[in-house]
């Protein structure tokens, strides 16, 4: 698709939301005990759709049997509704300014030809992924388990760009801004900041995703990639990097995307903790991709349970499976070829021996010994962030 045609296609997809018939491009179906709509946006297969403006699209659970999430089934999460409908790759630049020795305006051609090209396989996950599993349910987008994906990202190290500009000795913070803007002038831009000490060689400015240009809805033509961090820090349509000596007060770091400093007690709907912190690194998590909720299987048949697990980069040690509501656990077979920031796929051979409804549970454990808790033990917070309860799907054995 030509980028200039994106607006036309987006309007058609958005208009479909108003309708309810299959001919309008909308299907409604129960998924994980929720009634959801699925719409095919440009460059995407039909995905669970919460909003068209800004686009909020969730991947189906079934994609999480594979290490790499296909681009056309990769989830979409924007915060601001005004997204450029025309991007010219020949004139697009990324500006680097602030506390640098030389301000830079780097074109896509410069990025691809004048710097070392690197690749990293990493999970991208919304901080609100699985929010609908909290009890009681917090406000916000009621994501199921599909606000995540894993891709091979290609681009240039952020540190190489900063070295080219030359950091001044008082440089301490880096701010990132993209092309999306608010519809209402008082709404703040989606700007994120990182301390320079948080950078390593895995943080890149990416222009490719799984061997192709970034999909438009996933941040074309450039996005920040910060492996191990939640996606709110992965700024899309990245166009401006500013280096400063002090932290700037920002809505999306000071008010939104925050969790309690206290990591041993839950908040309650009636009471918030007085001190909070921004969400940054991901916790340990697994998702079952097959079988799906409601799948019917035969007694004594051979069922292969498959899914993915990941954390912030320390690495998954084990994935444990239970078919007796957590009374006993057995180890699944893991793919040990995955990189530290990637999905690690798992497989478990299961032969159902009793009739009726069976809960299949998956629990990941990382190399630090941290493991997924039971749903009742997940720490509740007002933002509905960082849910990582043991994953459960229910099948019917006949």
pLDDT at residue 29, rounded to an integer = 60
The half-sphere exposure of 160 on its side-chain side, counting CA atoms within 13 A, is: 18
- Given a contact cutoff of 8 angstroms between Cβ atoms, the answer to whether 148 and 75 are in contact is yes
- Given a contact cutoff of 8 angstroms between Cβ atoms, the answer to whether 207 and 224 are in contact is no
- Given a contact cutoff of 8 angstroms between Cβ atoms, the answer to whether 388 and 284 are in contact is yes
pLDDT at residue 20, rounded to an integer = 36
- Given a contact cutoff of 8 angstroms between Cβ atoms, the answer to whether 225 and 155 are in contact is yes
Tell which phi-psi region holds residue 201, choosing left (phi > 0), alpha (psi between -120 and 50) or beta: alpha
User: What are the Cα distances from residue 109, in Å, to 90, 105, 315, 335?
Assistant: 8, 11, 35, 37
pTM of structure:
0.91
- Residue 33's Cα: distance from chain center in Å? 22
pLDDT at residue 353, rounded to an integer = 96
The single-letter DSSP state of residue 139 is S
- Given a contact cutoff of 8 angstroms between Cβ atoms, the answer to whether 251 and 257 are in contact is no
Give the right CATH number for 285-397 from 1.10.510.10, 3.90.180.10, 2.60.40.650, 1.10.620.20.
2.60.40.650
For CATH 3.90.420.10, list the domain ranges present in the chain. Answer: 93-278
For CATH 2.60.40.650, list the domain ranges present in the chain. Answer: 285-397
CATH architecture of 93-278: Alpha-Beta Complex (3.90)
Q: How many CB atoms lie within 10 A of CB 14?
A: 17
pLDDT at residue 278, rounded to an integer = 87
pLDDT at residue 19, rounded to an integer = 37
pLDDT at residue 15, rounded to an integer = 42
DSSP per residue over 23-92, as a string?
GGTEEEEEETTEEEEEEE-TT--EEEEEEETTEEEE--GGGTTSSS--GGG--EE-SSSB--S---TTT-
Instruction: Average pLDDT across each block of 10 residues of the chain; the chain has 398 residues. List them in order.
Output: 49 42 50 79 96 94 98 93 88 97 97 98 98 95 97 98 97 90 62 88 97 97 97 93 86 73 88 89 98 97 98 97 98 92 98 97 98 96 96 98
Q: How far apart are CA 321 and CA 358, in angstroms?
A: 13
Q: How far apart are CA 375 and CA 336, in angstroms?
A: 27
CA dihedral 42, 47, 48, 51 (to 10 degrees): -10
C-alpha dihedral sign at 138, 133, 289, 345: positive
Coil vs helix vs strand at 217: helix
pLDDT at residue 179, rounded to an integer = 82
pLDDT at residue 39, rounded to an integer = 93
């Amino acid at each position: 698709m030509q980028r200039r045609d994106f607006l036309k296609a987006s309007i058609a997809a958005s208009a479909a939301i108003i309708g309810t018939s299959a001919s309008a491009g909308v299907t409604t179906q129960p998924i994980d005990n929720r009634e959801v709509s699925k719409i095919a946006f440009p460059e995407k297969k039909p995905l669970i759709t919460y909003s068209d403006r800004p686009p909020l699209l969730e991947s189906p659970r079934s994609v999480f049997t594979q290490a790499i999430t296909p681009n056309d089934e990769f989830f979409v999460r924007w915060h601001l509704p005004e997204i450029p409908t025309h991007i010219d790759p020949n004139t697009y630049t990324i500006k680097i300014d602030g506390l640098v020795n030389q301000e830079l305006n780097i074109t896509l051609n410069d990025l691809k030809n004048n710097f070392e090209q690197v690749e990293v396989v990493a999970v991208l996950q919304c901080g609100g992924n699985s929010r609908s599993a909290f009890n009681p349910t917090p406000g916000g987008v009621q994501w199921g388990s599909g606000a995540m994906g894993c891709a091979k990202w290609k681009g240039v190290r952020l540190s190489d760009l900063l070295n080219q500009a030359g950091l001044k000795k008082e440089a301490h913070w880096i701010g990132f801004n993209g092309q999306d803007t608010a519809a209402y002038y008082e709404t703040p831009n989606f700007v994120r900041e990182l301390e320079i000490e948080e950078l390593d060689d895995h943080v890149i400015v990416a222009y490719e995703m799984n061997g192709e240009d970034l999909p438009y809805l996933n941040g074309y033509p450039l996005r920040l990639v910060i492996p191990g961090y939640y996606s709110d820090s992965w700024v899309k349509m990245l166009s401006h990097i500013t280096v400063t000596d002090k932290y700037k007060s920002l809505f999306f770091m000071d008010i939104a995307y925050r969790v309690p400093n206290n990591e041993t007690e839950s908040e309650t709907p009636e009471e918030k903790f007085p001190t909070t912190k921004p969400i940054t690194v991901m916790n340990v998590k697994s998702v079952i991709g097959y079988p799906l909720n409601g799948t019917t299987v035969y007694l004594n048949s051979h069922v292969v349970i498959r899914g993915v697990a990941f954390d912030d980069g320390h690495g998954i040690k084990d994935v444990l499976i239970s078919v007796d509501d957590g009374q006993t656990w057995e180890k699944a077979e893991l793919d040990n070829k995955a990189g530290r920031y990637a999905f690690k796929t798992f497989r478990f051979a299961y032969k159902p021996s009793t009739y009726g409804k069976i809960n299949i549970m998956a629990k990941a454990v990382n190399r630090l010994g941290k493991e997924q808790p039971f749903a009742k033990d997940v720490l509740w917070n007002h933002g509905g962030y960082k849910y990582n309860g043991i994953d459960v799907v229910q099948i019917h054995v006949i």
